[in-house]
């Protein structure tokens, strides 16, 4: 029987936002669920995130942003991933992202957004269910 491949996740804090409680809790939960988690820490530029995604050969990229800069930053990350041929990475978002901003973000490739009140179990289940896609 083939050994199950460990899911590798890059968890990033783009831009200047310093609120990382959620990101850290999710990092712990994913790790407890058997995933390999690389947390970038704060102040990540789009270029830094793309470089890390490539270097760490991740399956999933999760970006957490609470400062309202998501519309400026997320598209740059997705473009960077595309340019590097990394658009098979499952890209997810979280933080404070107004409802009306979600459809356009999904349209450019953020597969799902997990806002305040999301349970860690929901994120873990989503990743497991959506990775093979």
Partner 1 sequence: MCVDDKLENLAAALRKWEEEARKQLVKDPGAKSAAETLSGMPVKELYTPLDMSGDYAESLGFPGSYPFTRGVQQIMYRSRLWTMRQYAGFGSAEDTNRRFRYLLEQGQTGLSLAFDLPTQIGYDSDDPMALGEVGKVGVAIDSIGDMKALFEQIPLDQVSTSMTINSPAAVLTAMYVVLAEQGGISLDKLRGTIQNDPLKEYIARGTYIFPVDHSLRLTSDILGYCARSLPQFNGISISGYHMREAGCTAAQELAFTMANAITYVETAGKAGLSVDDIGPRLSFFFSSHQDFFEEAAKFRAARRIWAHLMKERFQAKNPRSWMLRYHVQTAGCSLTAQQPLLNILRTGYEALSAVLGGCQSLHTNSYDEALALPTEPAAQIALRTQQIIAHETGVTDTVDPLAGSYYVENLTDRIEAGVQDYIRKIDALGGMVKAIAAGYVQKEISNSAYAYQKSLEEDRRVTVGLNKYRIEEPPPTGLLRIGENIEEVQAAKLKKLRAERSSGAVSAALDKVKQVAASEANLMPAIIDAVRVEATVGEICTVLREVFGEYSGANYY
Site residues (vs partner 1, CB under 8 A): 15-21, 24-25, 27-29, 39-42, 45, 67-73, 96, 98-100, 115-117, 119-121
Minimum distance from CB of 18 to partner 1 (Å)? 2
Spatial contact of 87 and 39, defined as CB atoms under 8 Å apart: no
Nearer to partner 1 among residue 20 and residue 56 (C-beta): 20
Beta-strand ranges (E) seen in the chain are 8-12, 36-39, 60-65, 90-95, 112-114
Nearer to partner 1 among residue 1 and residue 42 (C-beta): 42
Minimum distance from CB of 1 to partner 1 (Å)? 32
d(CA 33, CA 7): 10
Minimum distance from CB of 78 to partner 1 (Å)? 14
d(CA 43, CA 107): 25
Residue 42: enclosing H or E segment and its boundaries? Answer: none
Nearer to partner 1 among residue 2 and residue 99 (C-beta): 99
d(CA 66, CA 87): 24
Nearer to partner 1 among residue 2 and residue 100 (C-beta): 100
Minimum distance from CB of 111 to partner 1 (Å)? 19
Q: Tokens for 6?
A: 């460990």
């Amino acid at each position: 029987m083939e050994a199950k491949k460990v899911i590798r996740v890059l968890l990033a804090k783009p831009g200047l936002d310093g609120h990382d409680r959620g990101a850290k809790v999710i990092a712990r939960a994913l790790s407890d669920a058997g995933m390999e988690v690389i947390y970038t820490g704060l102040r990540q530029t789009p270029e830094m995130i793309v470089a890390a995604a490539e270097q760490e050969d991740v399956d999933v990229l999760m970006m957490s942003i609470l400062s309202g800069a998501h519309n400026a930053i997320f598209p740059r990350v997705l473009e960077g991933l595309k340019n590097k041929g990394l658009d098979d990475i499952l890209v997810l978002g979280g933080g404070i992202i107004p409802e009306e901003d979600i459809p356009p973000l999904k349209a450019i490739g953020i597969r799902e957004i997990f806002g305040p009140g999301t349970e860690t179990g929901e994120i873990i289940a989503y990743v497991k269910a959506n990775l093979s896609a």
